[in-house]
Amino acid sequence: MKLLNKLGYLCIVLTNQPIIEKGIITLAQSDRLNETVKRKFLRKGARLHAFYTCPHKYGTDCSCRKPDVGLIKQAVKDFGIDLKKSFLIGDTTRDNETGRRADITTILVKTGKAGGGEDAKFFKTKADYMARNVLAAAKIIESLTEK
């Protein structure tokens, strides 16, 4: 995140959290957790600019659950983001599909539960780039923005 901040990128988290609709946690608890994460990153010298959360479970008719692009549209509205100069880093094919639908360059990282697109039974969308982790993804972005 520090490298992305240094390069001038906004670091925004887009997350599906169906546990909210299921009643496991509340939206307020999720928001507090996100603020805690933001503070921890800031203490390490990295800034997360925002979290956008879809609280709906799979099968709910909403425009914010990835791979729909409602969360991206809200971030664009809030921050004036140019999607042509943006990247979506994620660890699932759902993230790749979200980026494709929003016409954003995607980087699939090999971390997380479905790391490296192991959830390919859901979406066949291929990432534009592959990376070992978020730091490697940031270095890809750095190399692309140097051109």
Which pLDDT value is given to residue 58? Answer: 81
Please, are residues 54 and 15 in contact by the beta-carbon 8 Å criterion? yes
Strand order in the sheet with 129-131: 87-90, 105-109, 129-131
Nearest Cα neighbor of 16 from 77, 62, 47 is 62
Q: Is residue 68 part of a domain?
A: yes
Q: Is residue 37 part of a domain?
A: yes
Q: Domain of 124: which CATH number?
A: 3.40.50.1000
Residue type, 104: I
What's the pLDDT tens digit per position in 72-108? 999 999 999 999 999 999 998 899 999 999 999 999 9
Task: Give the side-chain half-sphere CA count within 13 A for 104.
Answer: 24
Q: What is the pTM of this model?
A: 0.89
Residue 117 pLDDT level (bands cut at 50, 70, 90)? low
Can you tell me the distance from the alpha carbon of 21 to that of 59, in angstroms, rounded to the nearest whole number? 12
Can you tell me the distance from the alpha carbon of 129 to that of 119, in angstroms, rounded to the nearest whole number? 17
Name the one residue in this structure whose structure tokens are 């790749």: 96
Q: Is residue 147 part of a domain?
A: no
Type and span of the H or E element at 32: helix 27-43
What's the number of domains the chain is made of?
A: 1
Q: Is residue 54 part of a domain?
A: yes
- The range of the structural domain enclosing residue 56 comes to 2-142
What's the pLDDT tens digit per position in 3-24? 999 999 999 999 999 889 889 9
Q: Is residue 61 part of a domain?
A: yes
